[in-house]
Structure 1
Amino acid sequence: MTEKEPIIKLRGIKKSFGKNVILDGVDLDIYQGDALVIIGPSGTGKSTVLRIISGLMLPDEGEIYINGEKREGLIDDHDNSMAISMVFQQAALFDSLTVRENVGFFLYQHSRLSEEKIKDIVDQSLEMVGLPGKGDLYPAELSGGMRKRVSFARAVTFNPENPLQRPEIILYDEPTAGLDPIASTVIEDLVKDLRVSSEACKTYVMVSHQDSTIRRTGDRLIFLYNGKIQWQGTVGEIDTTDNELVRQFFSAKREGPIQVV
């Protein structure tokens, strides 16, 4: 039986900001259909990993392989062999644009689709995330949870006339940060529902600190600390592992190997 090949591979990834070493030789494999959650204390480089995967940031050292091909440069430096979408922690919407213009931004800028066709595509995406009829509103008129859902709609919107633009992987950076427990549950359910119902979203990598989000959306976990992957496991192993870093993280105890800043 042939072992499944990863669709994305990071090898020996290093990244520093000034004298602060963030990533120190990270190796990571991402497989088709993965629901991978990167966990660990704040400031340990979890979001940096997402930005390097997405091509928004270059590592100082190391190699990135997309479908077996080594990627050089940033995302705009070449044609990608894989479409990758990212949902940012703060939603990253344009305040001066309507919800419809935000969700369809890429289509308006980079396709020859008619205005009516783009409207239909965007409205389908908004329906998918539970925001039908909200296209004419502005971000300031939405709650925090609704803005997050708009960013989800944008991430799954692509030109159906160009299947190569369909996102094969979505990167979620703290999608439930700053939300109340009920709004967090809505977002967690949406992540899982999109994986089933959308043409995109079958594979995702998420960064999260929130216990419920980790347990409800993740299958596979990696624990990042001191620039390295210190533990890998499944959600089912959270409460049984002997790894002291994981045990301290989920118990929220001050005493342990994680240094409290």
Structure 2
Amino acid sequence: MTEPLIELKGISKAFGKNKVLDDVDLQIYKGQAIGIIGPSGTGKSTILRIIAGLLQPDAGEIYIQGKKRDGLIEDGADIVGIGMVFQQAALFDSLTVEENVGFSLYQNSKLERSRIRQLVNEKLDMVGLPGIGHLYPSELSGGMRKRVSFARAIMSNPDHPADSPEVLLYDEPTAGLDPIASTVIEDLIRSLQSIQDVCSTYCIVTHQESTIRRTADRLIFLYEGKVQWQGKVSEIDHTDHPLIRQFMSGSINGPIQLVG
């Protein structure tokens, strides 16, 4: 296989005495749809923030298309653009949808406001929300807010195409949504992967079975800070691995210990 877009080597991270990641290796290749699963508190969201350059690991190395990253994303731009969709959408309540989606361009580009508005409308069309740029987040449903956050994550500056996100990171994108709204989001994740000049590679953290099965091709199972199992989604119904069997069945009996 060719060189990975992103590679983690020996990544460890602790918060106080709680070691959430312990010598984790991970590779993300172009065109992959990777799902990171496992019980709560096992470092899934932490590893996304480390990949995004928002959090510094305690130990280990991060390579972006073969180049070692030093520091956080603010210390120097990666050669591969990485966008992130946060679990709670993380929209600015005081800004309109248009201002939220175009935030990075309004803040960091020299584009005319009319051009930014056009780009925002294009991205809103992509996520199935045309004509809502004038609304505020409080006027949207939970599913709509999620889709607005997707539009923001894929926003790019046409004057600097090299900065466009090539990898998307989704942190629990269907959390708190009803089954129908979850299906809309799952379909959107897959459809964005197939659009030219939008991210063809993504990594998704989720607990929801429908999201696991409908959005991921390859799975990585984290438990006790380590990668305990990885394989294709089609293998989760046939593997005898006790952690996977317990996690997918929801059984309280097995090697996964309940906290509290």
Q: TM-score, normalised by structure 1?
A: 0.98
Q: Take 2:159 and 2:70, find their aligned partners in 1: how far apart are those partners?
A: 27
Question: Paired residue for 1:23?
Answer: 21
Question: Paired residue for 1:155?
Answer: 153
Q: Superposed, which structure 2 residues align to 1:231-242 within 5 Å?
A: 231-242=229-240
Map Cα deviations across residues 185-215 of structure 1 (whole Å, 9 max, x no partner). 0000000011112522200000000000000
Other structure's SS at 1:56 match = coil
Other structure's SS at 1:108 match = helix
**Identity percentage of aligned residues:** 66
Q: Take 1:152 and 1:7, find their aligned partners in 2: how far apart are those partners?
A: 21
Matched, 1:11 2:15: no
Q: Take 1:234 and 1:47, find their aligned partners in 2: how far apart are those partners?
A: 21
Match of 2:102 among 104, 107, 110: 104
Q: Take 1:4 and 1:227, find their aligned partners in 2: how far apart are those partners?
A: 27
Question: Paired residue for 2:136?
Answer: 138
Question: Paired residue for 2:80?
Answer: 82
Q: Take 1:36 and 1:80, find their aligned partners in 2: how far apart are those partners?
A: 20
Q: Take 1:69 and 1:128, find their aligned partners in 2: how far apart are those partners?
A: 32
Q: Take 1:247 and 1:169, find their aligned partners in 2: how far apart are those partners?
A: 30
Q: Take 2:76 and 2:155, find their aligned partners in 1: how far apart are those partners?
A: 21
Q: Take 2:58 and 2:107, find their aligned partners in 1: how far apart are those partners?
A: 32
Question: Paired residue for 2:41?
Answer: 43
Q: How many residues align?
A: 259
What one-letter code is carried by the residue in structure 2 that aligns with 1:45?
G
Question: Paired residue for 1:199?
Answer: 197
Match of 1:190 among 188, 191, 196: 188
Other structure's SS at 2:165 match = coil
Question: Paired residue for 1:167?
Answer: 165
What one-letter code is carried by the residue in structure 1 that aligns with 2:140?
L
Matched, 1:56 2:54: yes
Q: TM-score, normalised by structure 2?
A: 0.99
Other structure's SS at 2:31 match = coil
Displaced runs of 4 or more, over 4 A: none
Which runs of 5 or more structure 2 residues have no equivalent in the other structure?
none
**Structure 1 position 8, deviation (Å):** 0.7
Question: Paired residue for 2:177?
Answer: 179
Question: Paired residue for 2:219?
Answer: 221
Question: Paired residue for 1:124?
Answer: 122
What one-letter code is carried by the residue in structure 2 that aligns with 1:63?
E
Map Cα deviations across residues 206-233 of structure 1 (whole Å, 9 max, x no partner). 0000000000000000000000000000
Q: Take 1:247 and 1:198, find their aligned partners in 2: how far apart are those partners?
A: 37
Other structure's SS at 1:168 match = strand
Q: Take 2:29 and 2:196, find their aligned partners in 1: how far apart are those partners?
A: 18
Q: Take 2:61 and 2:33, find their aligned partners in 1: how far apart are those partners?
A: 22
Conserved 8 A contact 2:5-2:80: no
Q: Take 1:75 and 1:165, find their aligned partners in 2: how far apart are those partners?
A: 12
Q: Take 2:159 and 2:215, find their aligned partners in 1: how far apart are those partners?
A: 31
Other structure's SS at 2:212 match = helix
Conserved 8 A contact 2:157-2:164: yes
